[in-house]
């Protein structure tokens, strides 16, 4: 529903005002699901590993409850990040066809209300993570990294970032590290692993999340290539230039290679077939479907990766159940 941008929010119904805030945080869209995957993958895989190593120390209920807490943290924090992104990018969004009707760009939500909404979500996300991660060093690292990364992300789209070879996808991908580290700590928190050891254990999955983000977000941003060029918006597809299709394929192959790195230590036949096998087939289909002459096919790649993420979560849940038997 597109509301009159000239009408102050106080004259809108309460339900419309709430809906505008929900839209501002993208809670009405599938995009926010992508923020959940790093923590869910980590908690479930770490949970399965711990169930096999020390079945008497943890339960299935513990693993799934920790995964839920970490997922809620990511979802709420992502909502706060979306508000920040739309506030910084308000001038750009208003000039891009796909984003011109976002609540801040179209004037449906006041800036003051948006910032209050962002603060509420930020505080709630911190409280949720605190309940899951009883490790001050990991908790501090995760919240600081997420805050700095989220704050910097929209500035990575600006032309000034180009001379530093910083792309917004780099920042977004790097945000997987604190999510994976906190997800690992949520399962192994009784051991109070040091921060450096937690980061070391998280590296394979963190790198997978980084490359995966580059892949699907580059395809996603390519949808706006026409408007972005007019506005001089900075994105990874600029690096690829005319070789965007080969670039997408190369990133996809790297994603598949990094899944192998993650699964080598897990030693699960089920995950080799359900995760690696399914993603490999799907990626070759995406390579075929992506067409640089039709930027909207970047949206197809993006949506397909959300579905693959949901499938991988299911596969990891089954892995936990198998480990707990």
- Domains in the chain: boundaries: 16-324
Distance CA 1, CA 103 (A): 11
- Percent of the chain past pLDDT 90, that is, above it, reads 61
Residue 198 has pLDDT above 60, yes or no: yes
How far apart CA 229 and CA 238 sit, in angstroms, is 9
Q: Six-digit token pair at 206?
A: 């963190």
The mean pLDDT value for 291-306 works out to 94
Farthest-apart Cα atoms in the chain, separation: 61
Asked if 228 and 295 touch (Cβ cutoff 8 Å), the reply is no
What pLDDT, in 10s, does the model give residues 208-246?
999 999 999 999 989 988 877 777 777 788 778 889 999
pLDDT higher than threshold 70 for residue 193: no
pLDDT at residue 5 is higher than 90: no
Reference 228, options 164, 158, 124, 173; nearest CA is 158
Calculate mean pLDDT across residues 251-263.
Answer: 96
Q: 133 near 179, Cβ under 8 Å? A: no
Residue with the bigger pLDDT between 190 and 240: it is 240
Q: Between residues 91 and 123, which one has the greater pLDDT? A: 123
- Residue 257 pLDDT exceeds 80: yes
**Which residues, in sequence order, are CB contacts of 84 under 8 Å at separation 6+?**
118, 150, 151, 154
Minimal CA–CA distance to 261: which of 251, 272, 270? 272
Helix (H) or strand (E) holding 126, with range, is helix 111-132
Residue 189 confidence class, pLDDT cut points 50, 70, 90: low
DSSP annotation of 243 reads G
| Pick among 3.40.640.10, 3.40.50.2300, 1.10.357.140, 1.10.8.50: CATH of 16-324 | 1.10.357.140
Distance CA 51, CA 10 (A): 53
Mean pLDDT (the chain) is 88
Which pLDDT value is given to residue 43? 95
Residue 75, SS3? helix
Distance (Å, whole) CA 21 – CA 37: 23
Residue-wise pLDDT for 147-169, tens only, equals 999 998 888 777 777 777 778 88
293/299 Cα distance (integer angstroms): 13
Q: Which of 243, 221, 217 is nearest to 305 (CA)?
A: 217
Compute the distance between CA of residue 290 and CA of residue 102 in angstroms, rounded to an integer: 26
Query: pLDDT value at position 191?
Result: 56
Percent of the chain residues past pLDDT 70, beyond the cut = 94
3-state secondary structure of 320: helix
Q: Which residue has the tokens 């995957």?
A: 37
What's the CA gap between 209 and 132, in Å, rounded?
Answer: 21
pLDDT surpassing 80 at residue 48: yes
Q: What is the mean pLDDT of residues 98-111?
A: 88
Q: Which of 4-13, 157-166, 232-241, 289-298 has the highest mean pLDDT?
A: 289-298
Say if residue 71's pLDDT is above 60: yes
């Amino acid at each position: 529903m597109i509301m009159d941008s000239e009408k102050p929010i106080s004259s809108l119904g309460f339900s419309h005002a709430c809906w505008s805030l929900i839209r501002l945080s993208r809670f009405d869209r599938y995009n926010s699901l992508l923020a959940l995957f790093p923590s869910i993958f980590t908690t479930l895989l770490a949970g399965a590993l711990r169930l096999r190593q020390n079945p008497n120390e943890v339960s299935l209920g513990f693993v799934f409850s920790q995964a839920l807490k970490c997922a809620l943290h990511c979802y709420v924090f992502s909502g706060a990040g979306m508000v920040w992104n739309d506030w910084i990018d308000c001038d750009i969004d208003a000039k891009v066809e796909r984003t011109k009707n976002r609540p801040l760009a179209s004037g449906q939500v006041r800036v003051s209300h948006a910032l209050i909404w962002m603060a509420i979500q930020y505080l709630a996300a911190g409280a949720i993570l605190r309940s899951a991660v009883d490790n001050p060093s990991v908790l501090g690292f995760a919240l600081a990294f997420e805050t700095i990364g989220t704050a910097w992300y929209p500035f990575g789209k600006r032309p000034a970032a180009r001379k530093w070879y910083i792309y917004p996808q780099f920042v977004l991908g790097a945000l997987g590290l604190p999510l994976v580290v906190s997800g690992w700590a949520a399962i192994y928190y009784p051991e109070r692993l040091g921060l450096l050891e937690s980061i070391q254990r998280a590296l394979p999955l963190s790198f997978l999340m980084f490359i995966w983000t580059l892949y699907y977000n580059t395809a996603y941003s390519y949808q706006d290539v026409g408007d972005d060029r007019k506005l001089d918006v900075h994105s990874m597809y600029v690096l690829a230039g005319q070789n965007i299709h080969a670039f997408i394929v190369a990133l996809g192959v790297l994603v598949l290679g990094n899944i192998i790195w993650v699964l080598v230590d897990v030693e699960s036949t089920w995950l080799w077939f359900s995760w690696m096998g399914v993603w490999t087939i799907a990626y070759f289909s995406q390579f075929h479907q992506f067409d640089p002459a039709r930027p909207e096919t970047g949206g197809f790649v993006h949506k397909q990766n959300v579905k693959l993420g949901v499938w991988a979560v299911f596969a990891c849940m089954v892995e936990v159940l198998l480990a707990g038997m």
